[in-house]
Structure 1
Amino acid sequence: MQKSGIDAFLIPRADAHRGESVPASEARLAYITGFTGSAGIAVIGTDKAGLFVDSRYTLQAPAQTDTDLVRVHEVNQGGVSADIRLYVPKGGTLAYDPWLHTPGEVRDIAEKLTGHARVVPHANLVDAIWADRPAPPVSPIEFLGHNRAGKTAADKLAYLHEVLEAEKADAVALTLPESICWLFNMRGRDVPNTPFVLGFAIVPLSGRPTLYLDRAKITPDLKSALKGIADVAEATAFDQALAGLGSDGKAVIIDPQTAPAAIADTLKNAGATLIEKRDPVLGPKSRKNDAELAGMREAHRLDAIALAKFLAWFDSEAPRGQLTEIGIVTALESFRREEETCVDASFDTISGAGPNGAIVHYRVTTKTDRRLNAGEIMLVDSGAQYLSGTTDITRTLATGPATAEQKDRYTRVLKGMIAISMARFPLGTSGAQIDVLARQFLWQDGVTYNHGTGHGVGAFLGVHEGPVGISSRYTTPLEVGNVISNEPGFYKAGEYGVRIENLVTVREATGYPGFLEFETLTLAPIDTRLIALDLMTEAERNWLNAYHARIWNEIGPLVTGPIKDWLKGATAAI
């Protein structure tokens, strides 16, 4: 910083592809601060440093960082507060890597420092000192058959060309790996938990698109698989291609919320016209076709078998008081790995015993690993990537008698989850409009939860995807084929946490023209031992009993012996 004449430097969690998981070579925030959460940004000044995280990480961040050196600030998700001024002297210079920040982020930070300091792009200073930085990932690339993708890459590109024509655009620059992988029906293993291929793409209105990938990924097999569909070039040529679009005076679509500022700057400086628009692949990708939905249903059937084994094992072991959070994660993963099509976890399992369950995005480590005492509530939020699809499920589990308060809170959360599951709503309704259905029963008793009720889920892609979800920030209308989580919760700091999560897909409401409803995909029992039965209505009991009957009918024949016996009891009617 001194050599560069810089007073402060920004270090975000994100890489150029904005993924929730980043490869080891891009984990700059963790390298500098020790914080491993999926979102956050640090500002390193000459004599002090700050780490800005949202409410999910206000407990995790201080535990992982040296708070004598780094002050933790809680902010709204995805940004910094005016406290950034504390780390940049008056009249000073704050630098950032333009490949790691969007134009919107840069504008927001510059506004917060207006009249105080300059904000300038700069080569990444972390990379300059990271002597043992891991190499960029190079993993095998596979292409999905029509039975898994449901649409050819040519069909998807034809849709994208229609968007370009409608927007009077000459090309679109794609940076999100989920969009690129979906568009070309390919998957990889470049990052943990998500089958991504990291790269960039330019799709022109006329002519073939070009994929820009690490040189080591460009093999004869890759070129053969993309023959007639797309050209392939080294990632180092991407900048030059952007500049070429600019020099030709092209109009180019970029997503200002996800594209790196470096792309916008290169295009603009070269003479291109920027069309700032949400990534046009996100919408069609979120509307799962019949083949994708069939794969998701199959993935949930496979996951249900593993979860029946895990939950039966948990019920037999938990009362002994010997289980640990890491041991629970290991057991769950081992049950899932018994299925040969299980590729990976879809995210790091949240395994919170007792008070750790109140930490919304808790990630157990060897330092925080806690024994689950008999009688405590256990919260397990996990998911898997199967070749057929992606799963995400949360269950809150009893290990002994629960208090009246715990049962009350658990039941109110369950009632909210059921309300979403039973919802029927007109076309054009967004997740923001139905979010209150999940919260109403907690609100009635003066409590709530500080996270969204649901997020979009990909089909053998990211476990979190846009543009739809269920919370106040999701204003995009829900459409047939969307797959979304349904996960209200309640958290009492220092004592326990409750969350119940199923995945649902949007479908047309039978017998109600112009209306939509949800189909539940997840097939795992909900712990009935924590329910306060007097709070449940007849309609809610009927829904839960029907759900458990479905699990028994569909999964019961797929398990045997003690697992089958356990499942029969766990799905018994209340």
Structure 2
Amino acid sequence: MNEIRMRVKALRLEMLKQNLDAYYISGTDPHSSEYLPNRWKTREFITGFTGSFGVVVVTQEEAGLWTDTRYFLQAEEQLKGSGIKMFKLRVPNAVSPESWLAKKLPEGSKVGIDAQSVTINGFRDFENVLVEKGINLVKTTDLLDKIWEERPEIPADGIFELEIKYAGLSRKEKKDTIVAELKKYNADYHIVSMLDELAWLFNLRGSDVNYNPVFTGYAAVGKTDMILFVDKNKMSVELQQQLEKERITVNNYDDFFPWLSEFRKKSVFIDPSTANYSIYETLEKGGNVLSEGTSITALLKARKNKVELKGFRQAMIKDGVALVEFLFWLKQNIGKEKITEYSVGRKLAEFRAKQEDFKGESFPPIVGYKSHGAIVHLNVGPDDALPLEQDGVLLFDSGGQYLQGTTDITRTVALGEITERQKKDFTLVLKGMIGLTLAVFPVGTKGCHLDILARKALWESGINYGHGTGHGVGHFLNVHEGPMAIRQEFNVNTIDAGMVLSNEPAMYREGQYGIRTENMIVCVEKEETEFGKFLGFDTLTLCPIDTGLVDISLLTPEEIDWINEYHQRVRKELLPFMDEFIQPFLLEITKPV
């Protein structure tokens, strides 16, 4: 922790040179990424905290990290001895970093912020709170660049093309759809800054970010032109020539802001929730007319086409086979050889790697045994992993990247003797997962309207969980994608047909165990009546649920029918692809309840 203290001290010296009373670190990159290239792991560099969400504020006297319920336990542990205090976000009475600064700093103070690493909305919200207290928000360069010795460069890994047999739509088809949407806003250009949007739009993939097959870049889609800003050295000559044939201009990544600064009185569409403030500021200086809204590319990407949806179903079969093989291995070896949380994660990857077109894990596996199960986004190494015993429950949340699609699944399984309370908790979580799965709702429904269905049974027993219920999932892209979500917080974007989401209610008893059951679901059209069009969900994930943990007395007949029908489908879909010696195991764990 001495190293972290030295880094904070060096940052404070740099702040003094810049006449700053505080410095804000957003913990992300110029592309609003959740998972980051090493170059932009600023939050981890300055605090030692390795979670995927959190912001940092450093003043001359204090330093704080703000994160959410997924990481409270992890952050407390990783910040010990650093002098950095943890603050809670997304809980009742939470104090935001900007409110904290407004209370701490006197009028006339200056707070520095890197305008390239904060969104337009983020900058505005921050500034609005500070300006009321007479505190100035000052745009700076990335101050960590001054103190980060041997800071990693942007990765130079290659970019490859995702064939149309997987993507479903050509680059031209995607561009034409965007241009048609731009007409609604009377806009000349749409700026694309998020890396998964970029990858989807150009049917390209990379490996700049662990677990996410993306590459670093920007793009602009105009009525007559389409420009990609990326390190050209990452592309083969053949790929560059192919893009040029399609009238796509390829410029270097560093050319983006100079190119943008030459815009004069154009109409440009941007997403203020994802585009960085430097983009806004550069366009504003040129006297351009800015239209704002949810990224056109993000919405198109979220509504999967027929080919993508077919691919997801193929990926689920591959993933399901790997998971059943893992469960069989676990049953055969628990108590006979040393198995730890860490080795479980490696085994999950090993079984997935046997599947054709597997391209890696979609996120670091979360494997929590007993008390570790209550740490929502636990990530253990070989040295701090708990050994598994024939007792209690194991939670494992993992996923794979396949050319056909991205997977994300959580199962909680009994390893031996369990308590009645564990059975009740498991069943209440399962009721929530089924409740959301069976939802039927009118077109125009938002995620916050559906979230209650996953929490109702838990709330009635005085139980809750602090994270969202469902996030979008990309097609051979990021395991977390927007713009929609199913969670308590309001999100303007509706749940539409073709959207693929997670469904993951949970409960955590700190120091004892955690329970989460997660399937991926796709929004589908259900019916049209005199009252309008109605939507619902189909389940994509194919993996048995541990019925030994279910308290049948707490289930309705409809819920029991759902479990039995789901397991019948898992059998039907997976048996043809299972090794013969594992088939009896699959039949056993999918017996009707």
TM-score (norm: length of structure 2): 0.93
Q: Can you list the C-alpha shifts for 1:305-355, whole angstroms capped at 9, x where unaligned? A: 110111111122334583211111111111111124111111111111111
AA aligned opposite 2:87? H
Instruction: Look up the match of 1:304.
Output: 320
* 8 A contact 2:57–2:97 mirrored in 1: no
Deviations 1:386-439 (A, max 9, x none): 111100000001011211111111001111111122222222222222211111
Task: Using the TM superposition, name which of 362-371 and 522-531 deviates more.
Answer: 362-371
The aligned counterpart of 1:274 is 290
Matches within 5 A, 1:362-373: 362-366=378-382, 368-373=384-389
Q: CA deviation at 1:280?
A: 0.8
1:156 to 158, 174, 180: 174
Q: Deviations over 1:156-208 (max 9, x none)?
A: 11111111111011111110111111111111111111111210011112x21
Partner secondary structure for residue 339 of structure 1: coil
Quick one: which amino acid aligns to residue 378 of structure 1? L
* Residue 66 of structure 2 is aligned to residue 47 of structure 1: no
Contact 2:158 2:235 in 1 (8 A): no
- Give the number of aligned pairs: 571
Contact 2:98 2:130 in 1 (8 A): no
Alignment counterpart, residue 171 of structure 1, candidates 167, 189, 194: 189
Mapping of residues 219-298 of structure 1, within 5 Å: 219-227=236-244, 228-245=246-263, 248-298=264-314
- Residue 564 of structure 1 is aligned with which of 562, 576, 583? 583
- Give 1:377's match in structure 2, choosing from 356, 373, 393: 393
The answer to whether structure 1 residue 120 and structure 2 residue 134 are counterparts is no
Per-residue CA deviations over 1:56-111 (Å, capped at 9, x if unaligned) read: 21111121124451011112399635223466555322111111011221222223
Q: Does 1:394 align with 2:410?
A: yes
Secondary structure of residue in 2 paired with 1:539 = helix
Instruction: Indicate whether 1:548 and 2:564 are aligned.
Output: no
Q: In structure 1, the residue corresponding to 2:441 is in which secondary structure?
A: strand
Residues 1:458 and 1:42: Cα distance change in structure 2 (over 3 Å):
same
Bigger Cα displacement from structure 2, 360-369 vs 250-259: 360-369
Q: Deviations over 1:350-374 (max 9, x none)?
A: 1111111111122223453222233
Structure 1 gaps, min length 5: none
Amino acid corresponding to residue 400 of structure 2 in structure 1? A
Matched residue, 2:460: 444
Map 1:283-362; keep pairs closer than 5 Å: 283-320=299-336, 322-362=338-378
C-alpha contact (below 8 Å) 1:8/1:87 kept by paired residues: no
Match of 2:204 among 186, 191, 195: 186
Give the letter for the 2:231 counterpart: D
Aligned match for 1:38, one of 52, 55, 67:
52
Paired position in structure 2 for 1:209: 226
Q: Report the TM-score when normalising by structure 1.
A: 0.96
Alignment match of 1:505 (pick from 522, 528, 531): 522
**Offset at residue 443 of structure 1 (A):** 1.4
Q: 1:286, 1:481 within 8 Å by CA — same for their partners in 2?
A: yes
* Residue 492 (structure 1) aligns with: 509
Q: Which residue of 2 aligns with 1:62?
A: 76
Mapped partners of 2:214, 2:72: distance in 1: 29
Matched, 1:465 2:481: yes
Structure 1 residues 312 and 475: CA distance shift in structure 2, 3 A: farther
SS of 2:116's partner is coil
Q: Which runs of 5+ in 2 are unaligned?
A: 1-14
Greater shift, 112-121 or 122-131, is seen at 112-121
Alpha-carbon distance in 2 for matches of 1:165, 1:154:
17
Q: Which residue of 1 aligns with 2:538?
A: 519
8 Å Cα contact 2:112/2:140 also seen in 1: yes
2:36 is matched with which residue: 18, 22, 26?
Answer: 22
Q: Secondary structure at the match of 2:397?
A: strand
- Report the secondary structure of 1:91's partner residue: coil
* Candidates 538, 553, 557, aligned match of 1:534: 553
Deviation of 1:145 after TM superposition, in Å, equals 2.2
CA contact (8 A) 2:205 2:214 kept: yes
CA contact (8 A) 2:208 2:215 kept: yes
Segment drifting more, 309-318 vs 293-302: 309-318
- Answer with 85-94 or 530-539: which moved more: 85-94
Structure 1 2/416 Cα, relative in aligned 2: closer, same or farther at 3 Å? same
> How far apart, in 1, do the equivalents of 2:88 and 2:586 lie?
42
Report the AA paired with residue 347 of structure 1: F
User: Could you say which residue in structure 2 is the equivalent of 1:72?
Assistant: 86
How many angstroms apart in 1 are the aligned matches of 2:343 and 2:77? 21
Q: Is the 8 A contact 1:321 1:374 kept in 2?
A: no
**Displacement, 1:116?**
4.8
Using the TM superposition, name which of 105-114 and 433-442 deviates more. 105-114
CA RMSD in angstroms comes to 1.9
Q: Distance in 2 between matches of 1:427 and 1:45?
A: 48
Q: Secondary structure at the match of 2:541?
A: coil
Could you say what secondary structure the match of 2:410 adopts? strand
Moved more, 254-263 or 460-469: 460-469
1:526 match: secondary structure: coil
Confirm or deny: 8 A CA contact 1:415 1:441 kept in the other structure.
yes
3-state SS of the aligned residue for 1:281? Answer: helix
